[in-house]
Amino acid sequence: MPKTGGASILQICQRYGIRIVDHNLRNPEHRSLAQIKEQTPDIFSFAIVRNPWDRVVSTYHFLKNGGIKGDDKLDADRFVSGYGSFDEFVLEGFKDKEILDQIHFRPQYKWISDDVEVIADMVGRFEKLQLHFSRWCKMIGLPSYKLEHINRSMHKPYKAYYSAQTIELVREIYSKDIELFKYNF
């Protein structure tokens, strides 16, 4: 899922022919993890999740700076560019419920569940990305690699951006992610 270290992992997976379920929901041929697991139930899958408050800050800055692809720019124009500050963005931008269908703001559980339960075989944390990735490499017989930090959004630590009101709003919006993956502000 976006903004959880996928670009860093992708280059190593490509080297070994490991399939990545991409997050381009705009692609009519996109298949979700649930659809893939339905067709190939014994396939091993892993995912990285990230603290929702941190992920919102990272995504906001990523899109505010234009993203990587043309679609990112379109999404930036639609969802984040009209706001003067992060606080204003959270308070006003999330009133448009379609933002939660946008690739980068979509709740994380939707990427790795069948809407009933998490179906990824293993879930690691962005906050311990290298540790989890090294364990997975060992499990599947690959050498361990030091991940490069690719596609980094430049910003202060996420806690610097929040007010009491925006903390609670993000808690409400991403409550299922927070509960499932045991995050707190």
Judged by average pLDDT, the poorest of 16-30, 71-85, 104-118 is: 16-30
Listed by start position, the domains of the chain span 6-181
Q: In terms of C-beta density within 10 A (0-12 exposed, 13-18 middle, 19 or more buried), how is residue 78 classed?
A: middle
Q: Look at 61 and 149; give whichever has higher pLDDT.
A: 61
Residue pLDDT, tens place only, 175-185: 999 999 999 99
Q: Given this model, what pLDDT does residue 68 score? A: 84
**Mean pLDDT confidence for 5-13:** 83
H-run or E-run covering 48: strand 46-49
Q: What length is written for the chain?
A: 185
**Mean pLDDT confidence for 65-87:** 91
Q: Given this model, what pLDDT does residue 75 score? A: 92
Q: Given this model, what pLDDT does residue 100 score? A: 95
What is the amino acid identity at position 97? K
**Mean pLDDT confidence for 109-135:** 92
d(CA 74, CA 161): 24
Residue pLDDT, tens place only, 37-48: 999 888 888 899
**Mean pLDDT confidence for 49-65:** 95
Residue pLDDT, tens place only, 133-172: 999 889 888 888 888 877 677 789 999 999 999 999 999 9
d(CA 4, CA 2): 6
Q: Look at 129 and 150; give whichever has higher pLDDT.
A: 129
